[in-house]
Structure 1
């Protein structure tokens, strides 16, 4: 395959693809695309992706491939996985506005698979997908089958994959090193062959965040770009399993930085967690809910895991909720966001836990 350097992507025109042959645009409303995630289809010819892990899969023929995206802020990154090459995907850096990104002009003749996967999150803005550009005689084939199992995760920067591709001794704030594909939840979903919706935002908490909105105000949105009035229709997609990994930012901002005043009592922290989990349970009466925490320093001592345990025990007793469990990812002593090695380890723990609980 021929990789086009990132600095040229969006600059090359359509004639750069197989210039001796006419090219065709396969619009985003073609029924052969397989979309995954909370995606806004109000414009079917330009569906909007904003949540991390939102993806588009397709099977196609031909020897060339380009992607048409219209990005809001020019801060998003995508994995473009061709023919199952997950270890070394094309990393597409979206430019602001509408551009055509040439992925390859030298694919082997025949059938190919494609996944376009949003590495970044709503903090980096939304992106409209406007279709693929293929060879003149190429076509989309039947898409891959949608997994029958369904998972949903609510979380913060850990769940988003903030800094997971950074060097162990390096910074972890670079957008190019935020890769939700290798976050623990996404790895777990692939391990279990489950379709995953990731509802996460770096810096968010249940009681307090690093910005003026919290997860109870954010979890029900269709659009992940900040706090907004968009509404996700929960009847569109119902998970079998929900994982909630929150309270890391609450632990920092309440106990460490004392940002929430008056300072909440232990009982208020437990009640805030209960209130959020009950809001999820109201949406999904039959789903199994796993309340997780870690693997950053909120699990360095028993205090915050204790709040989660107390909340779950109370809901199990008061609501007779038998589909409610806890899991905690151990703090390794590493002071920054988890790197891919830690995400893989946490995914192994979560995968084994789910396999046992769900009989998957």
Structure 2
């Protein structure tokens, strides 16, 4: 009876006073006590068991900031309980949490967030994959909470043959891809980068994957207050943010897919198509080449109406490709056949991914890697 009473106290005592700040900790402690497990312990983000992938802000190594969609944190855990510690939340952040072979959506909040998935007996591979895009939120990762007798270890080092980085807009980010009949921008839990064509292509090749895509951004004009040329090389989607160390990542292939917002924004505002689109895009490609001198660059087009059907966008885009392929022998292009009248849904992304995968397999430069 004493044990049961202590469990009830842990879950109920002062619940109103502490729920907002310590709710996750109380819940986890209650779980541990009720299961007869020893008290909880923190495993800090600096622990060598954690492996990070993505353009992550490590300015404060104790609290790395997970910014861009597709960023991951992985580890192995052997224990009885699991929770995650976050801080510095800005906006909305959603993760795909994987524990072993099971997966769930986890919404980040400041403080301790109990895992919706339980650990199995023995070693468990755990992974956080940031499914929501950088422009709607970022969060600091402080580590995990588990039971005092738990063990943590790193996964084996990646031996991926390919490294892909995708630059783009909402199509590449995977915005609205799990929405219903209408696009919506109120609940970002249905904007899932893991089910974007970009992530699918990377997965099909078991490639290391990064995604720097921003909904609404354009080459010359778009729905963001900045252009992609102002932010593509920064830690955050903000022209005033620090520039990232691009030399720390050497991609095999750099994919670029821009133009949809230049077309749709100006169409909606009854403006002419930007006359500087071709120049700004070619300037951007040259900057990308300087950053990645050994990478193959693939300029993509399509996924929505503009890229598929807008004559003014297609004409300007073709001028970019013609000019850049003439001056850069390590540059190619691909145009998607499949497109959707709204933002592509998961099934549309799958068709786009299948196209791009099939095309890559026919490319001599790709197969020689």
> With structure 2 as the length reference, what TM-score do the two structures score?
0.86
Q: Are the equivalent residues in 2 in contact too, given 1:74–1:94 (CA < 8 A)?
A: no
Aligned in 2, Cα 1:140/1:355: closer, same or farther, shift over 3 Å? Answer: farther
Residue 353 of structure 1, CA deviation: 2.1
Secondary structure of the residue that 2:24 maps to in structure 1? coil
1:110 partner SS: coil
Q: 2:319 aligns with which of 295, 310, 327?
A: 310
Displacement of 1:160: 1.0
* Secondary structure of 1:73 counterpart: strand
Decide which of 98, 112, 131 is 1:100's aligned counterpart: 112
**1:276 and 1:74 mapped to 2: Cα distance?**
29
Q: CA deviation at 1:209?
A: 1.9
How far residue 47 of structure 1 moved from its aligned partner, in angstroms, is: 0.3
State the alpha-carbon separation in 2 of the partners of residues 10 and 53 from structure 1: 29
Whole-angstrom distance in 2 between the partners of 1:141 and 1:214 = 41
Deviation at 1:12, TM superposition (A): 2.9
Give the Cα–Cα distance (whole angstroms) in 2 for the partners of residues 229 and 106 of structure 1: 38
Secondary structure of residue in 1 paired with 2:334: strand
Gaps in structure 2 of 5+ consecutive residues = 1-18
**Counterparts in 2 of 1:256 and 1:74: CA distance versus 1, 3 Å:** closer
1:15 aligns with 2:67: no
Gaps of 5+ in 1: 1-6
Displacement, 1:84?
Answer: 3.2
Q: Map residues 1-360 of structure 1 onto 2, 5 A cutoff.
A: 11-13=23-25, 14-19=28-33, 20=36, 21-85=38-102, 89-95=103-109, 98-103=110-115, 106-146=118-158, 147-167=160-180, 169-173=181-185, 174-224=187-237, 226-259=238-271, 264-265=274-275, 268-301=276-309, 303=311, 304-317=313-326, 319=327, 321-332=328-339, 334-357=340-363, 358-359=366-367
Q: 1:105 to 1:241 in 2, by over 3 A?
A: closer
List per-residue Cα deviations over 1:150-179 (Å, max 9, x = no partner). 111111111111111112x23432312111
Q: TM-score, normalised by structure 1?
A: 0.88
- The answer as to whether partners of 2:336 and 2:352 remain within 8 angstroms in 1 is yes
- Cα separation, 2, equivalents of 1:353 and 1:16: 53
Q: How many residues align?
A: 340
Classify the secondary structure of the residue corresponding to 2:140: strand
Q: Which structure's residues are more often helix, by fraction?
A: 2
Whole-angstrom CA distance in 2 between matches of 1:63 and 1:353? 46
Cα 1:15/1:300, change in 2 over 3 Å: same
Contact 1:10 1:102 in 2 (8 A): no
Backbone CA RMSD of aligned residues: 2.2
- Aligned counterparts of 1:106 and 1:204: Cα–Cα separation in 2: 39
Indicate if the aligned counterparts of 2:166 and 2:198 stay in contact, CA closer than 8 A. Answer: yes
Shift of 1:10: 7.3
Q: Report Cα offsets for 1:308-346 as digits up to 9, x if no partner.
A: 2321222222x2x222111122354x4211100001111
**CA 1:203–1:109 in 2, change beyond 3 Å: closer, same or farther?**
same
How many Å separate the matches in 2 of 1:179 and 1:300?
A: 23
- What residue number does 1:4 align with? none
Separation (CA, whole Å) in 2 of partners of 1:116 and 1:231: 25
Deviation at 1:192, TM superposition (A): 0.8
3-state SS of the aligned residue for 2:157?
coil
Q: In terms of mean alpha carbon deviation, does 33-42 or 138-147 score higher?
A: 138-147
**Separation in 1, partners of 2:170, 2:72:** 19
Q: Is the 8 A contact 1:164 1:340 kept in 2?
A: yes
Contact kept, 8 Å, 2:84 with 2:112, in 1: the verdict is yes
Secondary structure (helix, strand or coil) at the match of 1:12 reads helix
- C-alpha deviation, 1:131, in angstroms: 0.4
| Structure 1 Cα separation of the partners of residues 303 and 168 of structure 2 | 12
Describe the shift of the 1:327–1:352 C-alpha distance in structure 2 as closer, same or farther (beyond 3 A). same
Greater relative CO, 1 or 2 (CA 8 Å, sep 6+): 1
Distance of 2:357 and 2:154 partners within structure 1: 30
Q: Do 2:325 and 2:332's aligned partners in 1 also have CA atoms closer than 8 Å?
A: no
